[in-house]
Structure 1
Amino acid sequence: MPYFPRKISLLLTVMIFVVVTPFKAHAVDIVDSVKVRPTAEGYEITLNFLVQLRHLASTNGSKTNDVQIQMQALNFSALTSDELTLLGDTGPVVSWNRRKGAPIEDIRYDGSDPQRPLIYFLFSQEVYVKVKSSPDLRSLIVNIKTDTKPAIAEPKDEEARNEHEDVVLPAPKSDEPLIDEEFKEDTPVSDAFSAEEVKSGDPEKDHVFSNAEMAIKQQDYDKAIQLYTKLVNIAQGAMKKRSQEMLGLAREKNKQFAHAKAEYEKYLQDYPQGADSDRVRQRLAGLITATKKPKARLAEGEVSDKDGEEKTADAEAEEEEEWESRYSANISQIYFFDKIRTGGESQISRSDLDTDLDMDGRWSNEKYDIRAKYAGGYLYQFRAGEADDDRLSRLNIQTKYKDLGFLWKLGRQTQTSGGVLGRFDGLFTSYEQSDKVKINAVVGLPVDSSSDVDVPTERRFAGMSLDLGKFDNKWDFNIFAIAQNNQGTTDRRAVGGEVRYFDDKKTFFSLLDYDVHFMDLNILLLNFSWNIDEDNTLTVLFDRRKSPLLTTGNAILGQGVNSLSDLYDDFTEEELRKLAEDRTAVSTTGTIGISHDINEKMQVFADVTVSELTGTPASAGVEEAPGTGYEFFYNLQLITNDNFLENDSIIYGARYSDAQNSDTYTLTLNSRFPFSRDFRLSPKLRLDYRTEKDSSDHRFKTRPTLSVNYNVSKHVSLEAEAGGELTRETSAGEKQSTQELFAMMGYRANF
């Protein structure tokens, strides 16, 4: 197919994928995306969240195929209702790129306790696991070490290799150097040029070269190609020679075989003699052999062209433009039921069918990488008088121009850096000016809730940011400026930035958001983590932010209106600004915690948290809201593996909350028992006892739950959960009892 019609066909496919779908979106999954990257010993799995979550406990260093991870929501009292909804999801669809080869069978999020949600990983084989939070607390990083190395299997013989429609060369084994056999000690690249000999004397070129070497070691071939291409054009001597060779290798490993062939041929043209040239010549010959397609059988009487003739330039160019496509989809249907009985009266508080759909399409070639995403669903109510719920959470298309380092993303999306405060409808662009500088721009319309299916038009924002680094392979920075307008009124004007530091033992992250319109600090976040040794990790966290985040739109809180323009007749712009400040509290949280690996199967974690939420004054008919004062929270958790069954896990928890008006004691137990590879039971129990400080009122709550998961096949699983909550309380001398019964059941499928 000619190239231009192929592009038109691709565009139509993307449009159909995004627009034609039978579902509207249910609440967006709290796990925004999952990235899988091969490492030297296995894989690195990164879960990116829409809400900041801190890793509390998991059994690090243990060998298992079933992992249970305890998380904690950051600054829980300051979260918006939409963020609380995300945290409380009882089982969103979590999808990942299954072509990466990681032995992942399932990833699940359990928000039955939204303040301390659980994340489950199920692997197809036993792996060694190491878990940590990212410095900005927006991601969970799970490193797994596998017995089988991450590699692409090579057909065992030439006939089998020729049967493959898409020829894929084997990836390097993780216990070997990146360079293959002909690059090893008999004729290694390092013999041709040592690290010192490749130095150019120009700090800028040496820095680019160092980053290129690091990129190819980390198997980040796109970045390696970009950097080596730059070096080929600006470097001289030994650095230019090595860069030309490694550019060919990077393209080969990236499966850009025609480009790799051209780079190797250019190398041999420039450097025809020597052991290095012999090595490249051998690699070129192997590449040609591996990618040669079997000849078509000639019809009787048909005469072939010259035997072994090379492809024409047009045919080779067309091959280079061929698109690789892949699609994935996840669907789930879960029925929820909840019944509450207080005294002698019963009420069904929930009876609905929740359908979720998540689709991802990707089309790429050597120049472009195009991706379309959609998360959708529908909540059908069985109760009379209740409205069905349709929500839009994610609907966007993204294109990356690999050679230019330019990317754009259009549609409903989420950004959590650069001054953007979450979900919006709009356009995000990014240009990688160099390996140290990335320029970003964004324009959009903020979306407060996934229930806002229509594009909101009242508020608009525009911003720019710079990503800088890495410097010294440890530091990177972000600086931003952003402005937001609300129906003709300045809503927000902020400047700020982020600082990240990480080495083998320590990580540090800071975020500053300062509003120059209100001349007030919106967010200050500091997070520090230190791996003291192999068994002990110290974490320190400080978070101070406006609650809700300060904008002029906060003026409508308590006024009984839905739009800022409804107040224009009664208040001046300055008065609206003062109202917004009056309705905005300040939330401050400080935490210090330490985790200790007792052995491979046991880990203990303890932390102490101090928090305060300030009050807000009475104004414009809205009553004063008192502050909480300083509240103290003490937490202790023990997580164990292989207790009664192989690969089972239990998390024991004890918490004490010393609030301004009450004391609360909590015991929790979260367990997971794999009776077989496909069948799991997860009993959970929570006990709460609360006493009021200024009276004899008290409350005792018991909440047992049992979950069942059964994998029907590799792509389909069934699940069910049932439980109850019994609350007995004494208030003003009167005793009351409340019983709640809840259940859910359904299926999940991935394609």
Structure 2
Amino acid sequence: MKINQKLYTIKNYIHSFITLSLLLSLLGITTQHVHAEVIDRIEINQVGDEAEIQLHFITRIQYKRQAVLKSGDIRIYVTLLDIESDDPRLVWEKKGSPSSDIVLPFTITYPELDSSLTLSFGKVVKSRVRAGSDGYSLSIFTKAIKPKKQEQIKLPVVVPPVAVALPSLSVAATAITKTEAVVSKPLPKDATPVVEPTGFATDVPVDAAQKTPEQIEQEAQQLYVLASDALQANQIGTSIDALNKVLNLPPNILTQAAQELMGEAREKNGEFVKARAEYELYLKLYPKALDAKQVQAKIANLPKEDTKPVQAPPSQVAQEEDEGKIKITGGISQIYYKGLSNTNTFDTSGATPTTTVQAREDLSLLTSALDMTAWKRSEKYDTRVVLRESNKINFLPNKPEDYRWNVAYLEQRARNRKFMYRLGRQSSAPKVWIPGRFDGLTGGYSFNSTWRVNAALGKPVEFGTSGDEKTFYSGSVELNILQWSGSVYSGMEYIGGYRGKVGGVKSRRVLGADVFYSDTQRNYLTQLEFDTIYHKINFATFQGNWTHEPSATSYFMRADHRRSPSVALSLTGQFSQSLKEVLGSGRISLQALRDNAVSLSPISNTLSFGLSRIYSPRLTLSSDFTITNTAGTGAYIDTLTSPTLPTTQPAAVGTNNQYSYSVTATGNNLIFENDAGTAAAIFTSSDTNKSQTLVFSQTSVLKQKWRVGAGLALVNQSSSAGRHETQIKPSAKADYTMSDTTSFSTEIGLEFNHPTTATSDEKIFNKYFSLGYRWDFR
């Protein structure tokens, strides 16, 4: 009944939503293209005893740093690598969390006045942030709030303990022997629930001496994951049995972690005497462990006597409230943007000085978005239907309409993570190459915890105006070993047909690889892609983040070499006909088109480095340094300007090195309780331009429901051509949360620009505002 009511409410809401758009269209109001929301989707997975919140973006990103406010809000600073952060076409967005029983509800807001992203749980939640393994995502880890079910087991990246000199095998064996009666004896068979987890084998060969070190590490990982997951599911007997097997293996990377977890398992089972013995043995074996004081505190807080061990029956653990039910979550939002400008130009280039005054309306735009997910969980499968629609209506005349279904697909995953498939319109795919948004099929299959294969097949959408149909297919192989993961992929795209059919021509054929490493202190990502048709590197990139805990300093680095756009056979902007018509006319050859593709894919290089240091709970200082340069485009044959007489357009000059240096101070609780403030100085220089920028922003939370902010940017620019410009940009923003599902937002800004040259003096005054709302249904 509740689902029917919700569907009825959503249906009425969408009906009004579409009716408004149609009415505006009938009045002659059309739309223009603007950037979509940069956050593509939010996913929540369980990794051991942690919940992993994955934020997937439509663009490549560089994660820089995070700042946690006293309110618990997490400010995450990222750089959008394919979209400028101050691009006026960017859409402000606020997203609610997907339905989940392992993490508290949260909201995502982007961009803030200081271009950061805010993750808010509404309370203080301990978390950590890292870059994703694909260059397009972020992962935020928090402690899971609900025990994990065996059917949901997912092998995490297992983090090794801090390196501590291990005692010799004989010493460890002696220590264990002394407490054998307490800690090393496996439980009787009748004390272990008969629940066999799916997804990986748990049989341990008797003769460990015959195993290689790699086999021992892999076996230890599998057993440790089983123990951790079983403990979270309250299957303590299974957990203790698996931990005993880890501890009976030769010393390995998880021996230390397993010894401590054994104490936690005994403690959770009410066996406090045995738990004390396990913790004491841990301190004896690893006296220099970083968490030694915490373990000592656990010992001090242990009761002296045991309680009756608690073992949840498997039937109770397997039950799940939402199993078999359909959940519908998502949200509807609308934002109106208005922009006006006034320009006063004094020109002395002519015989008589002239003054020109111009006032115009630059922007009058209504953006609407629907994000809806229908989700059903059964005993073995998770099934989702995801719909994301956007509609941008422009109140200015002579603008094209922009209405699109960005995402519309059916997805099904096995709950043991063995396989998944997704059918429909998609804008991303897991660990496999795609040319962009497409209609088609993706899927993946895991052979075990180490190996996985993925594939994709479909037709790209929104790829240009030439009228040619495109088709692509791709595949990849993934490898996951402890903290390391990587993949090798290949993909092919055709224009005008499939695999050599009439009009079918290979547009590009890529071969790529990536390697990702992550632990609690650092993560590194290396990617390489090569086109085997053009024999050119599309990109080679490295980015990493690491933390030095003793000094509370975090670092990031990015080195990037790429063609932008990637080299591909494309007619957009060059020809008004289809590929078949162009080649059939005889005016240009296929090889000339491929040469055009290389010429129109210039190379850019970037080297970026930054650090941030927490000086106090209220103050963080950071600094970034970046060097960039871009090669010019090569000469190419142009038939768009004169279809009957192709001409060669000359090469364009690129840019020399541009250097950018910034210093930023971020603070909280500066003026009000739970406020956040940022002050930054940015200096940029090249052979032809120099600029200095000061940026200030302040955000405060008032009475929990209101969040208000103010910002100011001061810019001074000069060029070698004699142009000088100053800019003053004040802004203010306010958000009001009316309820858990409804919120409103507004922003207003002014811009005072004063560019001058030897013969002109301009004064430009811009003003803009936005007003919007979001309604979430859960």
TM-score range, shorter chain: 0.7 to 0.9
CA gap of 1:136–1:289, structure 2 versus 1, over 3 A, is closer
Task: Provide the residue aligned with 1:474 in structure 2.
Answer: 483
Matched, 1:339 2:340: yes
CA offset at residue 372 of structure 1? 1.1
Task: Provide the residue aligned with 2:27 in structure 1.
Answer: none
| 1:437 pairs with one of 444, 451, 457 | 451
Distance in structure 2 (CA, Å) of the matches to 1:445 and 1:198: 48
CA gap of 1:693–1:42, structure 2 versus 1, over 3 A, is same
2:124 partner SS: strand
Distance in structure 1 (CA, Å) of the matches to 2:619 and 2:555: 17
| 1:511 pairs with one of 527, 542, 546 | 527
2:220 partner SS: helix
CA RMSD across the alignment: 4.2
CA offset at residue 101 of structure 1? 5.5
Task: Provide the residue aligned with 1:523 in structure 2.
Answer: 539
CA offset at residue 224 of structure 1? 14
| 2:39 pairs with one of 23, 28, 31 | 31
Task: Provide the residue aligned with 1:703 in structure 2.
Answer: 729
Indicate conservation of the 8 Å contact 1:57/1:604, yes or no.
no
Indicate conservation of the 8 Å contact 2:407/2:425, yes or no.
yes
| 2:673 pairs with one of 643, 646, 649 | 646
Deviates more, 1:394-403 or 1:356-365: 394-403
Task: Provide the residue aligned with 2:136 in structure 1.
Answer: 138
CA gap of 1:607–1:335, structure 2 versus 1, over 3 A, is same
| 1:65 pairs with one of 49, 69, 72 | 72
Task: Provide the residue aligned with 1:428 in structure 2.
Answer: 442
CA gap of 1:383–1:520, structure 2 versus 1, over 3 A, is closer
CA gap of 1:219–1:27, structure 2 versus 1, over 3 A, is farther
Task: Provide the residue aligned with 1:486 in structure 2.
Answer: 495
Cα deviation digits, residues 159-198 of structure 1 (max 9, x gap): xxxxxxxxxxxxxxxxxxxxxxxxxx99999642799998
Task: Provide the residue aligned with 1:108 in structure 2.
Answer: 109
CA offset at residue 589 of structure 1? 0.5
CA offset at residue 215 of structure 1? 3.4
* Identical residues among aligned pairs (%): 21
Distance in structure 2 (CA, Å) of the matches to 1:222 and 1:625: 61
CA gap of 1:430–1:413, structure 2 versus 1, over 3 A, is same
| Partner AA of 2:220 in structure 1 | S
| Partner AA of 1:588 in structure 2 | N
| 1:606 pairs with one of 623, 626, 634 | 623
CA offset at residue 395 of structure 1? 1.0
Distance in structure 2 (CA, Å) of the matches to 1:666 and 1:523: 31
Task: Provide the residue aligned with 1:247 in structure 2.
Answer: none
| 1:210 pairs with one of 206, 220, 229 | 220
Task: Provide the residue aligned with 1:459 in structure 2.
Answer: 470
CA offset at residue 140 of structure 1? 2.4
2:591 partner SS: helix
Distance in structure 2 (CA, Å) of the matches to 1:701 and 1:26: 25
CA gap of 1:582–1:428, structure 2 versus 1, over 3 A, is same
Task: Provide the residue aligned with 2:717 in structure 1.
Answer: 690
CA offset at residue 654 of structure 1? 1.1
Matched, 1:728 2:726: no
Task: Provide the residue aligned with 1:326 in structure 2.
Answer: 327
Indicate conservation of the 8 Å contact 1:200/1:206, yes or no.
no
CA offset at residue 207 of structure 1? 5.8
Task: Provide the residue aligned with 1:244 in structure 2.
Answer: none
Distance in structure 1 (CA, Å) of the matches to 2:224 and 2:326: 28
Indicate conservation of the 8 Å contact 2:751/2:765, yes or no.
yes
Flag structure 1 segments of 5+ consecutive residues without an equivalent. 1-8, 154-184, 240-278, 293-318
1:418 partner SS: coil
Indicate conservation of the 8 Å contact 2:676/2:699, yes or no.
yes
Distance in structure 1 (CA, Å) of the matches to 2:234 and 2:432: 26
CA gap of 1:421–1:211, structure 2 versus 1, over 3 A, is farther
Indicate conservation of the 8 Å contact 1:400/1:408, yes or no.
yes
CA offset at residue 700 of structure 1? 0.6
Task: Provide the residue aligned with 1:585 in structure 2.
Answer: 602
| Partner AA of 1:67 in structure 2 | I
Deviates more, 1:542-551 or 1:324-333: 324-333
Q: How does 1:136-285 map to 2 (within 5 A)?
A: 136-143=134-141, 150-151=145-146, 191-192=185-186, 201=208, 209-216=219-226, 219=229, 283=311
CA offset at residue 137 of structure 1? 3.4
Deviates more, 1:431-440 or 1:418-427: 418-427
Distance in structure 2 (CA, Å) of the matches to 1:474 and 1:52: 23
Distance in structure 1 (CA, Å) of the matches to 2:703 and 2:396: 38
1:578 partner SS: helix
Indicate conservation of the 8 Å contact 1:419/1:513, yes or no.
no
Indicate conservation of the 8 Å contact 1:136/1:527, yes or no.
no
Task: Provide the residue aligned with 1:99 in structure 2.
Answer: 100
CA gap of 1:280–1:34, structure 2 versus 1, over 3 A, is farther
| 1:391 pairs with one of 404, 407, 425 | 404
CA offset at residue 68 of structure 1? 2.9
Cα deviation digits, residues 482-517 of structure 1 (max 9, x gap): 111122221101111101112332322111100110
TM-score normalised by L of structure 1: 0.73
Task: Provide the residue aligned with 1:117 in structure 2.
Answer: 115
CA gap of 1:631–1:224, structure 2 versus 1, over 3 A, is farther
2:449 partner SS: coil
CA offset at residue 361 of structure 1? 1.2
Indicate conservation of the 8 Å contact 1:482/1:495, yes or no.
yes
Indicate conservation of the 8 Å contact 2:595/2:636, yes or no.
no
Distance in structure 2 (CA, Å) of the matches to 1:616 and 1:353: 36
Distance in structure 1 (CA, Å) of the matches to 2:665 and 2:535: 45
CA offset at residue 280 of structure 1? 13
Cα deviation digits, residues 11-31 of structure 1 (max 9, x gap): xx9xx99xx987599964311
Task: Provide the residue aligned with 1:127 in structure 2.
Answer: 125
CA gap of 1:197–1:585, structure 2 versus 1, over 3 A, is closer
| 1:54 pairs with one of 62, 66, 79 | 62
| 1:617 pairs with one of 634, 644, 656 | 634
Distance in structure 2 (CA, Å) of the matches to 1:291 and 1:398: 23
CA gap of 1:533–1:67, structure 2 versus 1, over 3 A, is closer
Cα deviation digits, residues 277-311 of structure 1 (max 9, x gap): xx999746x5568999xxxxxxxxxxxxxxxxxxx
| Partner AA of 2:469 in structure 1 | E
CA gap of 1:705–1:100, structure 2 versus 1, over 3 A, is farther
Indicate conservation of the 8 Å contact 1:489/1:573, yes or no.
no
CA gap of 1:646–1:44, structure 2 versus 1, over 3 A, is farther
1:577 partner SS: helix
Distance in structure 1 (CA, Å) of the matches to 2:527 and 2:427: 18
| Partner AA of 1:559 in structure 2 | Q
CA offset at residue 324 of structure 1? 3.3
Distance in structure 1 (CA, Å) of the matches to 2:125 and 2:180: 34
Distance in structure 1 (CA, Å) of the matches to 2:483 and 2:443: 26
Matched, 1:747 2:741: no
CA offset at residue 152 of structure 1? 7.4
Distance in structure 1 (CA, Å) of the matches to 2:207 and 2:659: 57
Task: Provide the residue aligned with 1:501 in structure 2.
Answer: 517
CA gap of 1:727–1:223, structure 2 versus 1, over 3 A, is farther
Indicate conservation of the 8 Å contact 1:495/1:515, yes or no.
yes
2:560 partner SS: strand
TM-score normalised by L of structure 2: 0.70
Indicate conservation of the 8 Å contact 2:65/2:554, yes or no.
no
Q: How does 1:356-435 map to 2 (within 5 A)?
A: 356-402=369-415, 405-415=418-428, 417-435=431-449
